[in-house]
């Protein structure tokens, strides 16, 4: 009887022990966590960097120069041996120009611009003078003409704020190199001297330019821009340039209008140098390639 009782109790105890162990294991086993939802990625904006497409473009413009006094001056330089000046050699006339641009980086656009301005005048020599190796005498009737031509290569680069899409109000830096030539001709057609009554010269300026520009987008395709740049070497040549323009783009065409000014002085280290200020309204039309 005792053996039978033990045989019955042993399996029962084992079953109870296994049940208790299973309960403990179930309580200590970490519950499986629900799968985390995948992180949502930020939606990418479809708004372009700039309101207008940036492509190769060509603009032709007309500079409606307003005469500043009586025109450029020819002045005696450091190596002049006597009086060597003629002031106001003629009022400038409106002239054509061109601007070619191409984006080279996400923030920068490379430009080449140039213009041609001419002028004529006449006057009587106020004193005996020698310019460009030719002598003129007080009272001589002088017929004068000149031509000013310029070419500039410059990088127009986004400066602040440096974000995309660009802000409505943004500032840009200008890094340029300019070549300018002033060609002058002075003639005394009524002089009693039979030879050597015409003087011609070419005076040049080759300088870097550094500047700033501010742009404000009045509307999606309407842009107001103010810019200024220049550079000068003390007691040598100098140049400055500035403009304020308003442009409107429709399709592949852009209309532009505003006001532009430029001043320069060639090197005074020669016998004579040329000094002038040009300014006036500007109108242009630009074609933008797709």
Would you list the DSSP string of 77-138? Answer: -TT-SS---B----EE--EEEEEEEEE-SSSEEEEEEEEEEEEEEEEE-SS-EEETTEEE-T
Two structure tokens written together for 11: 């399996």
- As a whole-number percent, the residues of the chain with pLDDT over 90 amount to 75
Average pLDDT over residues 69-91: 92
**CA-based torsion, 88, 89, 95, 98: positive or negative:** negative
| Number of Cβ atoms within 10 Å of the Cβ of 190 | 10
pLDDT of residue 46: 77
pLDDT of residue 73: 96
What is the three-class DSSP state of 59? strand
- For the stretch 20-72, pLDDT in tens is 544 544 455 455 455 554 555 545 667 889 988 899 999 999 999 987 778 99
Query: Confidence band (pLDDT; 50, 70, 90) for 18?
Result: very low
Average pLDDT over residues 81-93: 92
Task: Tell me the CA end-to-end span of the chain in Å, nearest whole number.
Answer: 107
- Name the pTM for this structure: 0.81
Query: Where do we find the tokens 């980086």?
Result: 105
Cα–Cα distance, 256 to 277 (Å, whole number): 23
Two structure tokens written together for 228: 């200024």
- Domain residue spans of the chain: 57-288
Question: Topology of domain 57-288, per CATH?
Answer: Lipocalin (2.40.128)
Cα–Cα distance, 58 to 149 (Å, whole number): 19
Query: Where do we find the tokens 């500039």?
Result: 152
Q: What is the mean pLDDT of the chain?
A: 87
Of the candidate ranges 64-68, 84-88, 137-141, 217-221, the one whose mean pLDDT is the lowest: 64-68
Average pLDDT over residues 243-258: 97
pLDDT of residue 124: 93
CB 153 within 8 A of CB 110: yes
Residue 13: is its pLDDT beyond 60? no
What is the three-class DSSP state of 3? helix
Cα–Cα distance, 12 to 207 (Å, whole number): 107
- For the stretch 147-199, pLDDT in tens is 999 999 999 999 999 999 999 999 999 999 999 999 999 999 888 775 668 99
Query: Confidence band (pLDDT; 50, 70, 90) for 1?
Result: very low
């Amino acid at each position: 009887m005792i053996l039978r009782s033990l045989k019955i109790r042993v399996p029962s105890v084992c079953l109870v022990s296994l049940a208790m162990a299973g309960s403990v294991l179930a309580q200590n086993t970490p519950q499986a966590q629900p799968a985390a939802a995948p992180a949502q990625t930020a939606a990418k904006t479809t708004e372009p960097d700039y309101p207008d497409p940036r492509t190769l473009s060509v603009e032709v413009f007309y500079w409606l120069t307003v005469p500043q006094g009586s025109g450029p001056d020819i002045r005696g330089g450091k190596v002049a041996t006597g009086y060597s000046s003629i002031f106001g050699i003629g009022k400038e006339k409106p002239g054509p120009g061109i601007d070619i641009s191409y984006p080279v980086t996400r923030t920068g656009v490379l430009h080449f611009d140039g213009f041609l301005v001419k002028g004529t005048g006449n006057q009587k020599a106020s004193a005996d003078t020698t310019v460009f190796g030719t002598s003129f005498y007080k009272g001589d009737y002088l017929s004068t003409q000149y031509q000013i031509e310029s070419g500039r290569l410059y990088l127009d680069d986004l400066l602040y704020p440096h974000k995309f899409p660009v802000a409505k109000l943004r500032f840009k830096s200008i890094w340029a190199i300019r070549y300018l030539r002033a060609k002058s001709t002075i003639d005394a057609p009524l002089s009693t001297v039979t030879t050597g009554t015409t003087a011609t010269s070419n005076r040049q300026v080759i300088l870097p330019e550094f500047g700033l520009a501010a742009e404000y987008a009045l509307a999606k395709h309407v842009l107001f821009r103010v810019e200024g740049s220049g550079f000068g070497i003390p007691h040598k040549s100098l140049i400055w340039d500035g403009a304020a323009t308003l442009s409107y783009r429709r399709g592949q065409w852009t209309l532009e209008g505003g006001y532009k000014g430029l001043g320069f002085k060639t090197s005074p280290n020669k016998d004579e140098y040329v000094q002038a200020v040009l300014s006036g309204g500007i109108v242009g039309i630009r074609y933008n390639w797709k």
